Amino acid sequence: MSILELPPATPSSPIYQRMSETRKAEVISELSTLLGTRYVLHSAYDLTLYEYDASIDRGKPEIVVMPATSEEVAAVVKIAACYGVPVIPRGAGTGLSGGSIPVYGGIVLVFTRMNRILEIDYANLRAVVQPGLVNLHLSTALTPEGYYYVPDPSSQRSCTIGGNVGENAGGPHTLIYGVTTNHVLGMEVVTPTGDILEVGGWTQDTPGYDLTGLLIGSEGTLCIVTKIIVRIVPIAEAVKTMVAVFDTMDDASNTVSEIIASGVIPAAIEIMDELILQAVEADTHAGYPTDAAAVILMESEGLRESVAEEIAQIVAICNKNTARVVRIAQNEAERQLLWAGRKNAFGAVGRISPEFYVQDGVVPRTKLPYVLHRISEICVSYGLKVGNVFHAGDGNLHPLILFDSQVPGEVERVRKAGHEILQVCADAGGTITGEHGVGIEKQEEMALIFNEVDLRIMQQVREAWNPDQLFNPGKLFPLPGRCADIKQL
């Protein structure tokens, strides 16, 4: 194996030193003049809320700011650049890979006040939003006119569209429609020099390099997004949701592969295993069986005639693979309840464990039975319980490893189990993240899927956009001074 050696940290580099009290006071003074003291937080008490996201990592910022306009964001960045202070963009803090954790302190830039829908153009199927807009709020505003925004992460009731852009988030209904990058046409961004730049645009495609595609999923390391042009779509004429119950996970997994192989691609195909079903039912009472090895939640949408035909094909395939029962939601209330159970699954796990660590590997659908068996074996070997709830249609696994950080050594065992799970996913021809991003969590695992040349080219892109690494430093790639085995050329 070849070795990637990153340059060692240099004492003079601003991303490796926190501000002195004198310098911090100067920065706070300038930021307060710009934004007002109410929107510049710096007390230890106020900063505590911003030292974590939904991952298990922690890091305390030195200052938190809440700008209200793109111009204020640009001005904050210029102040930070002048003092050599890192800037870390943050949406709702629902990220699962530590993407908004301030590894080296610095300024956390929160989009709480930039949460508006700026424009809706139904004729051209477009909307313009600010990054702090909660994902679900856009669809809520569109629904009365018969439209919605497709990407729907499980945290859509709280996560922001800016955060979704940073991580290229997906969700159950992106199986047929695609993830965030397929629904963003253009953006306004702030560069590390404090310039405001527009990329992409209102039209389907624009000449030149696809900078929009490059910046989506860059996790705040290249720019700070301040405005987003998204695609909206009409609500389908007919929507049907169904649940297929199985006595083995293998049968459920094989059913998913056969459905897709048949040429039928539903709007969503989700799987929950027995442990998750028991937690969901205790929490939501959605009507799921608690004694099943696995349940597939599926949705078909489109014209009434095509949906009826698709449902018939899916039911036949489920029955062929020994489904115990296939139940179709009889009304909208039942359909929404089934989805509430799925969307609340992560939170429901709190009923059976004080904490959980979720992974985000992706594998070919045909490898689901093998990989799920290996996940179980890995967790058993570390003395840990695991529940599985995942986007089965595109092979995006979300094993939830249950643990208690108060038990000595348990966090370390959880991290090791997570690494082995991602190794299995990579070896099976998959990848280390489907929608949660790399952040802090999967930096070392980047070496499982990329070779030395791959990583060097990507880092050259970051250096071109963010030469001083003041935007979200310490993310995506192995940290300075750390060695990583790199996939062979």
pLDDT of residue 458 exceeding 60, the answer is yes
Residues 126, 229 within the same domain: yes
Residues 299, 403 within the same domain: no
Residues 253, 204 within the same domain: no
Please state the φ and ψ torsions of residue 11, each to the nearest 5 degrees. -55, -30
Helices 249-261 and 304-320 cross at an angle (nearest 10°) of: 140
Is 52 contained in some domain? no
Q: Identify the pLDDT of residue 15.
A: 53
Residues 170, 220 within the same domain: yes
| Final residue in a domain of this structure, among 315, 342, 369 | 342
Residue that has been written with the tokens 């020099």 in this structure:
193
Collect all residues with Cβ–Cβ distance below 8 Å to 376 and sequence separation of at least 6: 386
Residues 329, 404 within the same domain: no
Q: Identify the pLDDT of residue 465.
A: 97
Q: Identify the pLDDT of residue 478.
A: 72
Once rounded to an integer, what is the mean pLDDT over residues 408-425? Answer: 97
pLDDT of residue 274 exceeding 50, the answer is yes
Domain extent at residue 146: 117-234
Residues 242, 225 within the same domain: no
In 3D, which of 76, 279, 300 has the Cα closest to residue 194? 76
Residues 284, 311 within the same domain: yes
pLDDT digits (tens, 9 = 90+) for 326-374: 999 999 999 999 999 999 999 999 999 999 999 999 999 999 999 999 9
Q: Identify the pLDDT of residue 9.
A: 36
User: Percentage of the chain surpassing pLDDT 90?
Assistant: 92
Query: What confidence category does residue 17 fall into, taking pLDDT thresholds of 50, 70 and 90?
Result: confident
Is 151 contained in some domain? yes
Once rounded to an integer, what is the mean pLDDT over residues 51-72? Answer: 96
The beta-strand segments (E) located in 290-384 are 294-302, 325-328, 355-358
Residues 127, 221 within the same domain: yes
Question: How far is Cα of residue 147 from the mean position of the Cα atoms in its chain?
Answer: 23
Q: For the domain that residue 291 is a member of, what is the CATH number?
A: 3.30.70.3450
CB-facing half-sphere around the CA of 434: CA atoms within 13 A: 28
Query: What confidence category does residue 179 fall into, taking pLDDT thresholds of 50, 70 and 90?
Result: very high
pLDDT digits (tens, 9 = 90+) for 430-457: 999 999 999 999 999 999 999 999 999 9
Once rounded to an integer, what is the mean pLDDT over residues 304-325? Answer: 97
> How far is Cα 32 from Cα 29, in angstroms, rounded to an integer?
5
Q: Identify the pLDDT of residue 11.
A: 33
Q: Identify the pLDDT of residue 299.
A: 97
C-alpha distances in Å from residue 26, one per residue of 15, 33, 84 = 18, 11, 13
In 3D, which of 404, 349, 357 has the Cα closest to residue 378? 357
pLDDT of residue 32 exceeding 50, the answer is yes
Is 1 contained in some domain? no
pLDDT of residue 482 exceeding 80, the answer is no
Beta bridge partners of 4: 484
Q: Identify the pLDDT of residue 10.
A: 36
pLDDT of residue 483 exceeding 80, the answer is no
pLDDT of residue 7 exceeding 50, the answer is no
| Final residue in a domain of this structure, among 313, 342, 371 | 342
Residues 223, 200 within the same domain: yes
Residues 125, 229 within the same domain: yes
Is 208 contained in some domain? yes
Residues 268, 287 within the same domain: yes
Q: Coil, helix or strand for 84?
A: coil
pLDDT digits (tens, 9 = 90+) for 75-98: 999 999 999 999 999 999 999 999
Residues 314, 395 within the same domain: no
Once rounded to an integer, what is the mean pLDDT over residues 275-299? Answer: 97
Average pLDDT, the chain: 93
pTM: 0.92
| Final residue in a domain of this structure, among 401, 427, 453 | 427
Q: For the domain that residue 183 is a member of, what is the CATH number?
A: 3.30.465.10
Among 106-115, 199-208, 263-272, 356-365, the range scoring the smallest mean pLDDT is: 199-208
Is 358 contained in some domain? yes
User: Percentage of the chain surpassing pLDDT 70?
Assistant: 94
pLDDT of residue 489 exceeding 60, the answer is no
How many other CB atoms are there within 10 angstroms of residue 262's CB atom?
12
Is 443 contained in some domain? no
In 3D, which of 158, 227, 167 has the Cα closest to residue 198? 227
pLDDT digits (tens, 9 = 90+) for 103-161: 999 999 999 999 999 999 999 999 999 999 999 999 999 999 999 999 999 999 999 99
Is 395 contained in some domain? yes
Q: Identify the pLDDT of residue 293.
A: 98
C-alpha distances in Å from residue 13, one per residue of 160, 252, 283, 378, 473 = 32, 52, 49, 40, 11
Domain count, the chain: 3
Is 370 contained in some domain? yes
Q: For the domain that residue 416 is a member of, what is the CATH number?
A: 3.30.70.2740
How many other CB atoms are there within 10 angstroms of residue 121's CB atom?
12
